[in-house]
Amino acid sequence: MMQLISLFQKAEYTITFASTASKTEYSEVLEHRGITTTAIVLNDVSFDSFVTELNPSIVLFDRYITEEQFGWRVAENCPKALRILDTEDLHFLRKAREEAFKKNKKIDLFSETAKRELASILRSDLSLIISEAEMTLLNDTFQIPPGILYYLPFLVEENSENVPSFQERQDFISMGNFLHAPNVDAVVFLKYDIWPKIKQQLPEAELHIYGAYAPKHILDMHNKKEGFIIKGWAEAVSEVMQKAKVCLAPLRFGAGLKGKLLDAALNGTPAVTKSIGAEGMYTMAISKVDVPVFVDTSVQLYTQEKIWKAQQKEAFQVVAKHFKREHFSEDFIEKINRLQTQLKQHRQAHFIGQILQHQSLHATKFMSKWIEEKHKNKAE
């Protein structure tokens, strides 16, 4: 979301950030970036007045659930506004992989969640897809028209390769927000299956775990003697990443791109992950599936400078080739401008979105209005 805000600001858009979520100590202070913030309420007519008065030219929805809740209100009150869905990652894909992993069964993509998320994509004028693998899935498996999808990965500025050397670093690092189920599972996997085997070969090494909102069972895993250190939220990601020699990301399910692997690459920290973690990241991290090979690869990177330097160099090259802001920013804004000037034709060309807006979303709309009336009656 922050990279999108930056792109729109650079194009001289005035931005208002509206959210139903409460601010926490980890929330970005958007006002420092010159952004107006406002609180909005679910199932409340006050949003209609708010968005009508604001009269935005573009409305960006953060994930499909937000579009479900507010998309119909935007369509009714600001019909000329370009509606963009930022998928972040495909939620239905992540949930399907999680269920398949936990139940040890074949992955089933054709779920109720998939129907909801794909309907949201079809209703939106444009959906931002963060991974080329997910673009392929949407195009080939679900036949989503390419004209309503736009590939926009993580974007980075010119990054410096002037980072601490192999000799200046020590210990392993793992990072991830604990509100995200794949990150919780990865730490559990590290604790009981991977780290004991690494520690056996590298008794002086420690693994530092960073991430906000750690639940109690994760905090209870902290063990200085085992070198398994729960550090909590990292205020300066680059600082802690550049102190570490190797990043571990044994993700067993998930979707989208993995920010932790991009952070590792930007800071010259070679990473070891599994196939899910490597998806869409090219050769930014070494992908290993089974535990013994994952452990051996991690130890090898930690102890052999030549291999470490080669992986670091490859990750720098991947970032420069695939994730530079300059490769995407101008084209993205041009795409937005074209859509705004040709919005009527664009919607006619993808008329299925208007059909879904008219039909299936009425259920959400009238349920929302029923909840509104219920709240009014309680207040009276």
Q: What is the side-by-side strand order in the sheet with 246-249?
A: 228-232, 207-210, 172-175, 246-249, 271-273, 286-287
Angle in degrees, 0-180, between the axes of helices 112-123 and 91-103, rounded to the nearest 10 = 170
Whole-number Å distance between alpha carbons of 292 and 191: 15
Q: Which residues make up the CATH 3.40.50.2000 domain(s) of the chain?
A: 172-323
C-alpha 347 chain-centroid distance: 27
Q: Which residues on adjacent β-strands are paired with residue 74?
A: none
Whole-number Å distance between alpha carbons of 107 and 109: 6
CATH topology of domain 2-152+328-379: Rossmann fold (3.40.50)
CATH pick for 172-323 out of 3.30.1330.60, 3.40.50.12780, 3.40.50.2000, 1.10.3720.10: 3.40.50.2000
Whole-number Å distance between alpha carbons of 264 and 272: 10
What is the residue-level pLDDT of the chain in tens, covering all 380 positions? 788 998 999 999 999 999 998 877 767 778 888 899 999 999 889 999 999 999 999 999 999 999 999 999 999 999 999 999 999 999 999 999 999 999 999 999 999 999 999 999 999 999 999 999 999 999 999 999 999 999 999 998 866 778 999 999 999 999 999 999 999 999 999 999 999 999 999 999 999 999 999 999 999 999 999 999 999 999 899 999 999 999 999 999 999 889 999 999 999 999 999 988 888 887 667 776 689 999 999 999 999 999 999 999 999 999 998 999 888 999 999 999 999 999 999 999 999 888 887 665 566 667 776 776 776 666 65
Whole-number Å distance between alpha carbons of 272 and 281: 12
Do residues 127 and 145 touch, judged by C-beta distance below 8 A? Answer: no
Predicted confidence at residue 281, as pLDDT, reads: 80
- Report the chain's terminal Cα–Cα distance, integer Å: 39
- CA angle, residues 250, 253, 255, in degrees to nearest 5: 110
Predicted confidence at residue 361, as pLDDT, reads: 59
56 backbone dihedrals φ, ψ, rounded to 5°:
-75, 155
Predicted confidence at residue 157, as pLDDT, reads: 81
| 281 Cβ contact list (under 8 Å, min separation 6) | 257, 258, 261, 262, 273, 318
Q: CA nearest 262: which of 182, 190, 179, 322?
A: 322
Burial label for 53, CB within 10 Å (0-12, 13-18, 19+), is: exposed
Structure-token pair, residue 315: 């990750």
